[in-house]
Amino acid sequence: MQQISLNVIAIAIFVMTISTLLGPILNISPAIPAVATFGIMGLATIDTLSWNNKGATLFLDLFVTSEQRQRVIYHEAGHFLTAYFLGIPITEYSLTAWEAFKQGHYGQGGVVFDSEAAISQTLEKKKKELPLILDRLCTVLMAGIAAEKLVYEKAEGGREDCQQLRTVLNVAGLPSSVYSQKERWGQLQATSLLERHQQAFEALVIAMAERKSVAECCQIIQENC
């Protein structure tokens, strides 16, 4: 079962435990928290098997704090800025699970860039250019973690980014022994790029917080280079 559904179940069990302890004091029947808990666990199981955890993701998104949402903006702005400078086409972005859901994507939000098109175009030109594209993708995928560390000194997000990077490297035929090395390299490259364009990065964060369009965000980056 996916970690996000396990979190929901853990919350349900915690609520059930508290309700059981406080039930006699508040005159709450033990059957009420028990039924509610098993109901939540059943829904979490169905969500995992049938909906790919979309329901749990949307539910947990309701409890995200303003500080966490600001961290998400910095994280996604890191992806956006590096993709822009490295020539990876950006199609759209979202900053909450609800926004991602409305766009037809899964997760807490993210920048959507056409990495497959970039690789396909390279293969059509020269296969020897593929390593360059892979290096660019490594940088873009690790840029969210780099942005968080740059601003907050440590990253809370990025697990999906690392998984996506490993998938890309696996498809490209690289051995698993280089995955960690590529992650560290990508973070270093992204950090360097973000530091060189600090003004554009901060301006982009503000623009994304205001939900500017992709075209407007690109224009703001250009104006602040």
* 46's tokens: 């169905």
**146, 129: one domain:** yes
**55, 74: one domain:** no
Residue where one domain finishes, among candidates 43, 61, 79: 61
- Kindly report, residue by residue over 148-190, the tens digit of the pLDDT: 999 998 988 888 899 889 988 888 788 888 899 999 999 999 9
Q: Residue 37 belongs to what domain range?
A: 3-61
What are the b/e assignments for 29-56, b being 16+ CB within 10 Å? eeeebeeebeebbebbeebbeeeebbbb
CATH (domain of 131): 1.20.58.760
Instruction: Provide the number of structural domains found in the chain.
Output: 2
Residues of the chain above pLDDT 90, percent: 35
- Kindly report, residue by residue over 118-134, the tens digit of the pLDDT: 555 555 555 666 788 88
**76, 47: one domain:** no
- Pairwise pLDDT comparison (223 vs 109), residue with the higher score: 223
Task: Assess whether pLDDT exceeds 90 at residue 211.
Answer: yes
- Pairwise pLDDT comparison (37 vs 87), residue with the higher score: 87
**118, 215: one domain:** yes
**57, 157: one domain:** no
CA dist., res. 149 & res. 33, Å (int): 41
Three-point CA angle 81, 76, 123, nearest 5°: 60
CB 84 within 8 A of CB 90: yes
**35, 117: one domain:** no
